[in-house]
Structure 1
Amino acid sequence: MRRIKAIMMFELKRIFQKPQSYLLMFGMPLLFTFIFGALFSSDSEPKPNIVVVDEDQSTLSKALINELESKNIMEMSIENAVNASAKFDDQKVTGYIRIDDGFEEQVLNKKIPDITFVYSPSFNGAKMIEQVINDSMVKLRIVASASNVYQEVTGDSWKGAQEKITSELATSDGIKNIPITKNKELETMNNVTARSVGFTIMFVMITLLISTGVFLEARQTGVWYRIMSTPTSKKEILIGYLLAFFLIGWIQFGVLMLVSTFVFNVNWGNILGIFVLVSCLLLCTIGLGLFIGGFVRTSEQQSVFGNLIIVSTCMLGGVYWPLEIMPNVMQQMAKFVPQYWGIEGFAELAVRGGTIIDVLAPSGVLLTFTMVFLIIGMTRIRFE
């Protein structure tokens, strides 16, 4: 036991004596989280600036404008046709919507009214605004038809009925959103939380990959020969190094979790669930490092190939961007990389308010990866 402890402490001192280790282990993950998460994250994206030209100046044209404003997807202003065209030509606005004269009469006569939407070909949100205009028109035509029926039945002005119906629709609750979560305080994984989780996983994997390269480095420098000339067995050597790698990973993960909690306000979730999930993720990463080490000859080769594998699988696993934006084929392929299951586990804890029970499935998959990596890696590592 003393030999195992001595090997473990030696490796811990070796990794933390290097100043660059602190930059890689703590500085880079926090910087990446800030850049990809905090810096470019906002609750709402910039809205397009759209001008409305109301040439009809009627009750229904104003109702349409109010309906478009209520959608809150664009910054709207009212201008005449000349000013709207000039601002668009000068690229001061994204586009303009023109409601032609006779709009109200066409709606009341159950005809399709003339509405023109002018925008730049480079505006990617045009289809969304077109859909909003069409939806608003459908709603307006229904209200106008109901108002006409009201006027025919009661003899009162249709305008009063139209205003009342529109007001009722505007104040109704509409669709009720019900997030699926086990904890009411944790309803969404915002961009900062997602990127903090992802980059913590990535840089812990990179650190442990470099650490596991000590096996190849020790064989290159002849350290194995000196250690094995002592009463220390191969089993003790392996256990000592594996414990050192495990502790290095936990120290790095723990510090990053603590800092991100206070700096980025990240809620990581249930403590016991975190302990189980992180431990399984660290074991899997150690196994991956030994697996790669079994197929290369030098620690430099392991670093090059290992970083390439980790960065590419992090991209596939959802570290850099949400999996939802990827094609379905890529989403299915992501299930074959450990990072996917790590992020899934943290989503259960940090978003859905899950407990240790909820991370048993992703932890089990990570342990399966671990067994495969360790069995193949340990059979290929040579001490001599």
Structure 2
Amino acid sequence: MWEDAYQSVMEAWKYKVPISVTAVTQNNSSAEGYDSLKHSMIGFSLFFSMYTMVFGIGTILSDRQYKTWQRMLISPVSKFSILGGTMVVAYLTGAIQMGVLILAGKYLLNIDWGNSMAGILMLAGAFVFTVTSMGLMLSGIVKTHEQLSSISPVVLTSTSMLGGCMWPLEIVSNKILLFLAELTPQKWAMQGMESIASKGMGFEAAVLPTIVLIAMGTLFFAAGVKLLKFE
């Protein structure tokens, strides 16, 4: 009797399955060409190199604190020559760091940087100029190197998060955050480099981001010169 009852229940159960699971795979075109290793390499290379450039140009604050800046200003050398020398040193330091990271990714991690290494390097150079100019502007806003050390991590980390260095912007749906991302140099550098390295595009993918980065850098530089006290 019990066996008959069990068989009856099992037969009835076959036609009354309480849960049905259907698996559907969607092809997300916005994620085509995404490579997590390349994204991380590009994003964190940009992120960490920014500290070198900002604190490099921030030596102006230390020079001012120890009166070296004032002594240089009363020397026969022009003010813009002094500023230009500091900018060049900070730029070259950042450019060398970016170059080393790109080459290390290629030869140590076997990262394929795509069809245009020239485009990657051009974007890196424009990004270094923009961040160096940003560092000049921040140095004009704050008064001491300690203040720069406090404000820089907040600015650099938040803009890197908005710009897509930490995660791809394709997963962000908030329109306000996407708009703010357009205002960060990291977003444009990431866009250009990923287009070449991950999406198979050529040198042309670097042109617009480079123009935007240079425009941003020029604005930052003009603001920095305006804010910096030549006294």
Calculate the TM-score normalised by the size of structure 1.
0.53
Identical aligned residues as a percent = 31
Question: 2:204 matched to 1:354?
Answer: no
Tell me the equivalent position of 2:5. Answer: none
| Residue matched to 1:195 | 40
Residue 371 in structure 1 maps to residue 198 in structure 2 = no
After superposition, what is the alpha-carbon deviation per residue over 1:141-188, rounded to whole angstroms, capped at 9, x for unaligned? xxxxxxxxxxxxxxxxxxxxxxxxxxxxxxxxxx9x8x89xxxxxx73
SS of match in other structure, 1:354 = coil
Match of 1:243 in 2: 88
Between structure 1 and structure 2, the one with the greater Rg is: 1
Q: CA deviation at 1:332?
A: 2.9
Amino acid at match of 1:327: S
Report the structure, 1 or 2, having the larger helix content. Answer: 2
Hey, what's the Cα distance between the residues in 2 that align with 1:239 and 1:268?
32
2:160: which partner in 1? 314
- Distance of 2:52 and 2:18 partners within structure 1: 58
Q: Secondary structure at the match of 1:268?
A: coil
Shift of 1:228: 3.1
- Aligned to 2:161, what secondary structure does the other structure show? helix
- Kindly tell me: are residues 235 and 350 of structure 1, through their superposed partners in 2, closer, same or farther at Cα, counting changes over 3 Å? same
Q: Using the alignment, how far apart are the partners of 2:179 and 2:69 within structure 1? A: 42
CA contact (8 A) 2:56 2:90 kept: yes
Q: Is the 8 A contact 2:35 2:198 kept in 1?
A: no
How much has 1:103 moved relative to structure 2?
Answer: 7.7
Q: CA offsets, 1:97-116, max 9 Å, x none?
A: xxx63688xxxxxxxx4324
Hey, what does 1:101 align to over in structure 2? 11
The equivalent residue for 2:21 is 130
Secondary structure of 1:115's counterpart equals coil
Correspondence for 1:340 among 162, 187, 198: 187
Q: Where does the alignment leave 5 or more consecutive residues of structure 2 unmatched? A: 1-9
Aligned length, in residue pairs:
218
Gap regions ≥5 residues in structure 1: 1-99, 105-112, 118-128, 136-174, 181-186
Q: Is the 8 A contact 2:159 2:186 kept in 1?
A: yes
Normalising by the residue count of structure 2, what TM-score does the alignment of the two structures yield?
A: 0.85
SS at match of 2:34: coil
Structure 1 residues 131 and 276, CA gap change in structure 2 (3 angstroms):
same
Counterpart in 2 of 1:300? Answer: 146
Q: Which has the higher strand share?
A: 1
Quick one: higher RCO (CA 8 Å, sep 6+), 1 or 2? Answer: 2
What are the Cα deviations for residues 174-210 of structure 1, in whole angstroms up to 9, with x where unaligned?
x9x8x89xxxxxx733211101100000011111111
Alignment of 1:67-82 (within 5 A): none
- Report if aligned partners of 1:272, 1:355 keep a CA contact under 8 Å in 2: no
Give the superposition deviation at 1:317.
Answer: 1.1
| Distance in 2 of aligned mates of 1:327 and 1:130 | 28
Say whether the 8 Å CA contact 1:290–1:377 is kept in structure 2.
Answer: yes
Q: Distance in 1 between matches of 2:190 and 2:95?
A: 17
Q: Give the Cα–Cα distance (whole angstroms) in 1 for the partners of residues 75 and 174 of structure 2.
A: 55
Identify the match of residue 171 of structure 2 among 325, 337, 350. 325
| Cα shift readout 1:45-73 (whole Å, capped 9, x = no counterpart) | xxxxxxxxxxxxxxxxxxxxxxxxxxxxx
- 1:213–1:303 contact (8 Å) kept in structure 2: no
Is the alpha carbon distance of 1:103 and 1:264 closer, same or farther for their aligned partners in structure 2, counting shifts above 3 Å?
A: farther
Q: Alpha-carbon deviation of 1:233? A: 1.6
1:382 CA drift (Å): 1.1
Structure 2 distance, partners of 1:259, 1:378, is 35
Distance 2:145 2:111 in 1: 35
- The alignment status of 1:281 with 2:127, answered yes or no, reads yes
- 1:382 to 2:222 alignment: no
SS of 2:119's partner is helix
- Counterpart-to-counterpart distance in 1, 2:190 and 2:230: 35
2:66 maps to which of 192, 217, 221: 221
